[in-house]
Amino acid sequence: MRSRFDEQLTALNNNLIEMGALIERAISRANTALLNQDIELARSVIDGDVIVDEKEKEIESMCLKLLLNQQPVAKDLRQISSALKIITDMERIGDQAADISELCCYLADQAYIKRLEHLPMMATATIQMVTDSIDAYVKKDLILAEDVVKHDDVVDGLYLNIKTDLIAMVHENVAYGEQAFDLLQIAKYYERIGDHAVNIANWVIFSITGAHRRY
């Protein structure tokens, strides 16, 4: 009986890894679309969000079946209930990658008012946070989960740099205002992706220790 349960938990972990790969790819492709002003690539990210939503439903169904059929206790129960919470944050990350891509489509025919430096850095940082948070869940790695929480300061710092730079540019030339707002909105989406990665890490901590820190 336990071996069957362990097989189902392994399948659950594999599906979480697959969903993680989908959202990591979505963030990366959205970033590439932004840098290259590639409308087709941006639209592929938007269209691909349906697959992320379907994967969320698939994992949710797996979790509910495990809860109903296996009636897990203690640590196993925490692991499955945490997975249910984690996929909600993962789905929202997919939504935000799509939101970034929608803005990419809008900005594709405009010359950028500044060289994009910090936005790609935010993309790289958030992808790493998402990857590490999911790895921490699968490997039950408390230290890695705590590192994800700490790394959010890097993303927040990049966001503040972008905000400061864009505000200064608008003060110099109000004509930059509309695009500056759009670029700041993209930065905010990346910042929110970092927040969701922290949420995932906190649910990992809960699944391991039984204590959950509200972000």
Is the overall model pTM greater than 0.85, yes or no? yes
Mean pLDDT of 185-199: 98
Residues 6+ apart with CB under 8 A from 32: 38, 41
CATH of 2-209, one of 1.20.58.220, 3.40.1280.10, 3.40.50.300, 3.30.200.20: 1.20.58.220
Instruction: Map tokens 């730079």 to a residue.
Output: 165
Q: Which pair of structure tokens corresponds to residue 28?
A: 């990366």
Residues 6+ apart with CB under 8 A from 189: 96, 97, 99, 100
Q: Give the tens place of pLDDT for each residue, 16-41.
A: 999 999 999 999 999 999 999 999 99
